[in-house]
Amino acid sequence: MLAAVLKDFNKLVLEDVPVPEPGPRQVLVRIVSCGFCATDYKAIKGIRRNVDFPLIAGHEPSGIVAAVGSQVTEFKEGDAVICQPSGYCGICQNCRNGNTHYCDHAYTTGGDGPDIVLPGAFAEYMVTGVECIFRKPANISFEAAALTEPLSGAWKGVIQKSEMQVGDDVVIIGTGGIGLLCMMVAKAAGAGRLIAIDASNYALANAVAIGGATHTINATTPDVVKQVYDILPDGPDLVVEAAGPIQAVELAVQLRRRGTKWNVFGITTHEKFELDGGHTHFLEGRMDASFGTTPLAMQSAIRLMERGLVDPGKIISHRFDLQDIHKAVEVMGQKERNKVVINVPL
């Protein structure tokens, strides 16, 4: 099969490799579409260093079951499916508490996080555990289905962790791909006023056209906090940091009023910010965070798509066939892009 194999940082090679064979409780998936995540790009460019070579990246796939292991009865050849990247044992204490993304024996297909990294979906075929397979509803395109994992992360952060309520005034800091998905989830959940903050006018335009923002603020303009409070005199009910830089977290801290919930969602680097302990105490707000996904979050994202409440396909700005993945890498380094998807022609 054709696969994009990362041999070393900045050394991505298209080559023929053997088609993997599924184990007893595994499924072989013929990849149709796969989202290109920033963590994939960071691995390719050496921005993140926790990479063992060779690596086949790509952890946001959809496709068609090509073969099943000897003990798999839940799926059959020809089924259209969506793959969760994070595998789990289902038996450890974390799994049995519902936190499968904390699994003591976790693995990932082409992604980041666990010590065990299996070959991912920048290839024609991929093997994963049957617990990671979900049926793709017929009314969801393969491209949109490939974005189930990031959409599930947005649902998990905004709804499950921060418990957004109908009518809440919501501020989203950072309106790239994941920020747009957070906005779309918040809009579908009945957000009142929905404010997008970003340093890019391109991203802010997308926040209105795709995310449904009611207001936008450029983060480089003076006194962003005052601009938010001019729109929301009583302050925001929920602030979601979906940007990544520490300055976005610091802005979220500054935007709090009494009772504000705030979610540290986008930052993954180990940087520090300050909190006034007494001020935080008397504000009586709540900080949440969210990473990874779970079967509940994946299934909830699929329901949102199947019911027509959220279409993550709208955030796709660029599409490339697998053989053109080097062009996709170039686009991933550009500022004016949203979601990049790799397609694998059947």
pLDDT over 90 (residue 268): no
Q: CA distances (Å), 201 to each of 171, 176, 209, 334, 335, in order?
A: 17, 11, 12, 14, 11
* For residue 346, pLDDT beyond 90: no
Q: What percent of the chain shows pLDDT beyond 70? A: 100
Q: How confident is the model at residue 6 (pLDDT cuts 50, 70, 90)?
A: very high
pLDDT digits (tens, 9 = 90+) for 299-316: 999 999 999 999 999 999
The per-residue DSSP string of 6-56 comes to: EEETTEEEEEE-PPP---TTEEEEEEEEEEE-HHHHHHHHTSS---PSSB-
- Residue 195: name the closest of 271, 272, 251 by CA: 251
pLDDT for residue 280: 96
Tens-place pLDDT, residues 45-90: 999 999 999 999 999 999 999 999 999 999 999 999 999 999 999 9
Q: Cα–Cα distance between 57 and 119 in angstroms, integer?
A: 7
For 228-241, write each residue's pLDDT tens digit: 999 999 999 999 99
Tokens coding 211: 């995310």
Across-strand partners of 31? Answer: 63
CA distance linking residue 37 with residue 150, whole number of Å: 9
pLDDT at res. 83 = 98
Per 3-state DSSP, what percentage of the chain is helix, strand, and coil (rounded to 5)? 30, 25, 45
Summarize the confidence of residues 21-29 as an average pLDDT: 98
Set out the domains of the chain in order of their start, with CATH numbers: 2-136+311-343 (3.90.180.10), 153-289 (3.40.50.720)
Mean pLDDT of the chain: 97
pLDDT score, position 56: 98
Q: pLDDT at position 123, please?
A: 98
